[in-house]
Amino acid sequence: MPESNLTDQLGAFRAWKQARLRLLIKLQPWLKQQGLFTTEARHAIERAVRALHDDYVTVAVAGEFSRGKTELINALFFADHGRRLLPTDAGRTTMCPTEIFCDPDSPPQLRLLPIETRREEDLLATLRDEPKQWKVFDLELNDPDSLAERLQLLTENKLVSKREAAELGLFQDQDDLDSTHVSIPRWRLAQLNIRHPLLAQGLRILDTPGLNAIGSEPELTYEMLPAAQAILFVLAADTGVTHSDLQIWQEYIQRPGYEERRGVMVVLNKTDTLWDDLRSSGQIAESIIKQCREVSRTLGVNAQQVFATSAQKALLARVKRAPALEQRSGIASLEKHLAEVMVANRMQLIQEEHTHVVSEAIEALETIIKGRLERNEHQRQSLLDLAGKSDSAIDRMLAATQRDYEIYQTSMQAYKQNLTAFRQHGHILLTALNTASLERTLDEIRQTMTGAWTTYGLKDAMLRLFEDINSRIEISARQTQSMRRLLRSIHRRFQSQHQFRLPPPPMFSIVKHQVALSLLDQEADLFRNSARTALMEQHFVTKRYFSTIVTRAKRIIRVAHGDAKHWHDTALLPLSMEVQEYRNTLAQQILDLRRAGDSRKTVQQRIVALQRDNSRLQVQLKSFGKVRFLLAETKDLPTPKASGQN
């Protein structure tokens, strides 16, 4: 495959990240040198650096069996092998979720997790870090035949009794009433580490199997798919949108209640089945466009998100170097949009959740510096006015400044009382969001569930879990509200009585975490009340689903606790800095006024020092403005413009 838009976009994205990394790495020592390396700035920079070091951009390919998902992966990413890399023969396609990536620190290999691990309660996240659980096969990248043969392992099934399939959660009584045995996948998860230019630039691919496999692996549904920067939802032109296609779409891609997923592309594959020698090219194109519009109406998506392709013809065209056939296959417009969407979504996430936080920390510092400049200028002007003042006038100014200091002392007493109250509320807030106490509650729930984990037991456990979590959230919401009121009160006092120039106080909100937990509760409710769950007598399937829900709930609570603790520890830091600056300024003014009666030369020296300090502060402001501009710059990465009419 020639240099593609994917290659260009991933290369530009990596360059964009490296430029910001260099900027942030330089920023830290400069802030330290300037005495501006606040806790807020340090936290924001460290968080952004971690995000920028993450090299991976993930595309997930989802859809029902026999829609051509694996062939689409071959056409999009691996046509330069000159043959099919992943197996897609009739009846011989990938049977388990497959992660494809490039880890340069490990040899090329295929790791396979046996299906028997489903008997255990361990989640996939746990099993990833247990090498003994995996079957590992080395890959000979220079031997195409050997490589193709090895990758056939991804297609393996095994014949087992109905009882064994049921024990693995892969058989329900209505599946097959006649035979005594059923066919199930041999592997639960595959990881393919392979050298490839696109993968080496940070691309990761997740190839998912059909509806039954997605539904039986909660982590695939709720962890791996949502984490992808782009999702290709694959349909087949010869079947249209079937009931099972629609079920995957509604339950796992665009779930009700959730924000509309960015980066979702619907691929109407196998359009070559509509190529009819008895019809003109115009009639064929009209038929394809009509079907694309019907797909967009059925799924409720913009027509520009639907791409008509023939993955098989695209792969053939790229292997045989047939530009006309490649153009007709529709692969080029999908590839272009995919590249731009993946990179744009990953970049937007970094901007919104990480580098934007750095910009906010810098803006807070800019506000503080502007306040220092104003105080310096006020002090400098006062000292200039002293030149024509009598000793009695200087004494009156000194008395006025001392009164300001007394008012400041009164404000400090109120500040300390509010600070004590803020910390008391903060302690209650952090205790409510403490994952250790949540873990104790979960242990109690587990211990009260005796015998096999039935559907009734699952319902009872989840109800008790969310009752406890909702109680914690209510406590957190009350404490957060009280703390927010205290913050506003403290800020207003210093702004009105002492003319502080302060950035708006940072405000923690439990709402986004509350929404995430509410959606999780809805998912749990749908699962425990679904007909599919009612047929699940296998206790380990039920327990693993419960464990998945618990893991996600604990993660949400843990993130909420981290956000709350950071807010508790840093919300008053900008004000504390200003209080310190203001106290020092008042002390210096009193000292200057006392010296003025003894020596006007000393006053002149102080004026020069203030002018010098002002110049330094102006340089800091200019530098901050440049940093914020560079952090926000995205000109090297174009905004994706979709066109599914191909």
Residue 644: the pLDDT is 42
Nearest to 549 by CA among 524, 586, 576: 524
Helix, strand and coil in the chain, % to nearest 5: 65, 10, 25
The residues near 86 (Cβ < 8 Å, ≥ 6 apart) are 70, 73, 74, 78, 94, 98, 151, 154, 207
Rounded to whole angstroms, how far apart are CA atoms 615 and 275? 73
* CA 334 vs CA 325, 338, 636, 641: distances in Å: 15, 6, 21, 11
Contact 51, 353 (CB under 8 A): yes
pLDDT at res. 388? 67
Give the residue-averaged pLDDT of 249-268: 77
Single pTM value for the model: 0.74
What the block records as the tokens of 525 is 């409710």
pLDDT of residue 500: 81
Q: For the domain covering 56-329, report its CATH number.
A: 3.40.50.300
pLDDT tens by residue, 359-401: 888 888 888 888 888 888 888 887 787 766 777 877 888 888 8
Q: Which one is predicted more confidently, 218 or 224?
A: 224
Q: How far apart are CA 597 and CA 586, in angstroms?
A: 18
Contact (CB, 8 A) for 325 and 313: yes
Beta strands 109-114 and 230-236: pairing type?
unpaired
- Tens-digit pLDDT profile for residues 622-634: 998 888 888 877 6
Give residue 261's Cα distance to chain centre.
12
Taking only the tens place, the pLDDT of each residue in 84-131 is: 888 887 656 778 889 999 998 899 999 999 999 888 767 788 888 899
All structural domains of the chain with their residue ranges: 56-329, 389-572
Residue 268 one-letter amino acid: L
The C-alpha atoms of residue 162 and residue 183 are separated, in whole angstroms, by 9
Binning pLDDT at 50, 70 and 90, where does residue 642 land?
A: very low
What DSSP string runs through 473-491?
A: HHHHHHHHHHHHHHHHHHH
Q: pLDDT category, 256, cuts 50, 70, 90? A: low
CA distance 575 to 577: 5
The pLDDT assigned to 533 comes to 54
| Helix, strand, or coil (residue 188) | strand
Q: What is the pLDDT of residue 619?
A: 92
pLDDT at residue number 1: 39
